[in-house]
Amino acid sequence: MHRKKDKMRNCRLWSSFIQRGINQFDPIVGKVTAHSDHWEGTFLKGMRDTLQVLYNQRISSIILCAKNKDLIHKLKYPPQSHKIWGTIGRDVVDLMQSFHSINYKAISLTNYLQFTSRYNIRFVSRSCFIRLKHMDCVYKNPNESIESRVKDLLSRMTLKEKLGQMTQIDRAVASHSAIRDFCIGSVLSGGGSPPFENAVSLDWAEMVDGFQKSALETRLGIPIIYGIDAVHGNNNIYGATIFPHNIGLGATRDADLARRIGAATALEVRASGVHYAFSPCVAVCKDPRWGRCYESYSEDTEIVRSMTSMVVGLQGQPPQGHQHGYPFVAGRNNVIACAKHYVGDGGTQKGTNEGNTVISYEGLEKIHMAPYLDCISQGVSTIMASYSSWNGRKLHSDHFLLTEVLKEKLGFKGILISDWEGLDRMCQPPGSDYHNCIMSAINAGIDMVMVPHRYELFLKEFTTLVESGEVPMARIDDAVERILRVKFVAGVFEFPFSDRSLLDIVGCKQHRDLAREAVRKSLVLLKNGKYPGKPFLPLNRKAKRILVAGTHADDLGYQCGGWTISWNGSSGRTTIGTTLLDAIKEAVGAETEVIYEQNPSKETLDRNDISFAIVAVGEEPYAETAGDNSELVIPFNGGDIISSVSDKIPTLVILISGRPLVLEPWLLEKIDALVAAWLPGTEAQGITDVIFGDHEFKGQLPMTWFRRVEDLDLRVEDDVDGLKLQEPLFPLGFGLTYNKN
């Protein structure tokens, strides 16, 4: 009798609650709007506990978490009758998505309730109803078309919210209040910028999820996309797999390998909670003096075009019939990719970073633009503008190339993003004419601005420009449409948070084996033996005693190069991996003695019981302008080390560098064998796999190897093929094998 009265009483409470009318639901204050015909539920009794009402997109279920088993009930809700099930003691951080990210909302009604956090709802009454309401916003419904969702959301946005979406700020200034109050659309880690030193993927995921929660608390709950320079694996994360830099991949000529590396990179990036990789670089490097030469696959346009398969690896394979130019991201195991730097950054005069590319439009189109067309055909979601200029015009403000060519002629429908402080660098001194720089860049076609630090000034100036009509609202709406389109395509509205189930894949054996394969295939054999018919390689792994020398033989940081853990990279064991010395010790026989001296002493060199020497020398890590180099000699007295060792001991030289370096004829004559290993990354076993004969040399030069630096200024200009050396030391495509010297 008492039970029947209690039930009737609560039904009356519910009825009166609906009749009175309630404000729109907000997960912070606990208010709802509903009509009785939208609701369905069950009666829960005896509640004096914390009930967690959360959504798990992976199993399309609402999870009810509570300590009291009596509180667990199964429910169904319209229109698709998805099951709702309860569980006890689940890891809510791992399983759940925010209320803002779902198509249904879980509501609890009682005569008294208190919201203790975003997810926890504390009930202190004896009973309540759990109700589910279908969202009435088109943009929140994943069953609607992407363009319908974009149109609906855009129609709801204020100018402030639109300009916020066009703004990408750095992690260092991305506070909760900054993201929430300015409606920021994207956050990045510039040059690595970890949450703290040696942060692992879980640390990154927690940081990114924290930023995401701030974004979801804004009025419209538009999630951020988090960007990072994952240019040879997820190279910012301690313990991640570091693959060879692009110049090494270009030496493989293996497009499928690039695709597989892209897919592995995407998984390791998503494990850290990051949605967006500023990769691949599809520059066609025409001058090795350029500090970003190693980010290019080749000086040959066709090789670069073939390696755009990296986009498919990162984003997934678009289905047959996919609309040309429309962005594509296959799912939660993929990332938003970024083809960069549009356009001609690899062709600047004398290889000057951020310099001027002097070439006709026909030459620009054939040599430097062609890879972008391939990326666009494969659904690349974003393209980054170049710092450089074309015939004196800054790319960031070139309406012809950004809008008329890229967006209209090539049909690109994704996001065109600026480079880091790209608008500041449009004028001299940088940032001096900020008002006009913003106006010029946005009107030229830039959709999202990478403004890492002074975003408040940027948004203030930007707002003034729009309100004055200097930047048309149509241009703003076009940019925001593109940004929202990519966010919907990438699924960040449905899956805004990290997938912790991916954490174990970071640096896994499968990915390290893939990196090892890439190293093997990237090695280019330039010399094998001093005399015809007498090859020096492969080496005898059972030799009694060998010498390992050189600055790069036992330095993981040097082996990985720039863009590794930090922006410029550094020396030492900066992450987890295998140095060349480690790999040699692992590869040789148990009876072989390995002597290691970075710069061998006279006493060591005078020994007559050393079978052969392996000398590893090369460049120190660098990135961008810091790598511009007009001399290109082997640093750290590398030539002297090679000379002193090869005078006494038969020597294999392994050159670890991001580009061809000067090889003096007299030095080349001294050594017995020479291998270009590029910047191989963390898995040096790939080198020993080949030099000890377990695998064949397959690499071919991705760049012409010059004789003297002066020759680079004597190249013949050709709008079809670009600058070409007349008498190189080694031509493009050169590479010896064991079977054909």
Give the max Cα distance, the chain: 105
Contact between residue 687 and residue 583 where contact means Cβ atoms under 8 Å apart: yes
H/E stretch holding 84:
strand 82-87
Residue 354 three-state SS: coil
3-state SS, residue 484: helix
Q: What are phi and psi of 102, to 5 degrees?
A: -115, 165
Closest CA to 237 of 502, 448, 450, 553: 502
Residue numbers annotated as active site: 419, 624
Angle between helix axes 255-271 and 509-522 (nearest 10 degrees) is 150
Q: Which helix (H) or strand (E) holds 583?
A: helix 580-587
As given in the structure block, the two tokens for residue 621 are 């890590």
Task: Give me the DSSP letters along 400-456.
Answer: IIIIIIIIIIS---SEEE--TTTTGGGSSSTTTTHHHHHHHHHHHT--BEE--S-HH
Whether the CB-CB separation of 6 and 39 falls below 8 Å is answered with no
Count of beta carbons in the 10 Å neighbourhood of residue 47: 20
DSSP letter (8 states) at residue 285: -
Q: Which strands make up the sheet holding 61-65, listed edge to edge?
A: 75-77, 82-87, 61-65, 49-56, 120-123, 113-115
Phi and psi based region of residue 206 (left: phi greater than 0; alpha: psi -120 to 50; beta: remaining): alpha
Q: How far apart are CA 236 and CA 234, in angstroms?
A: 6
157: nearest Cα among 196, 115, 190, 185 = 185
Element spanning 227, H or E: strand 225-228
Quote the CA–CA distance of 313 and 309 in Å, as a whole number.
7
DSSP 8-state code for residue 333: T
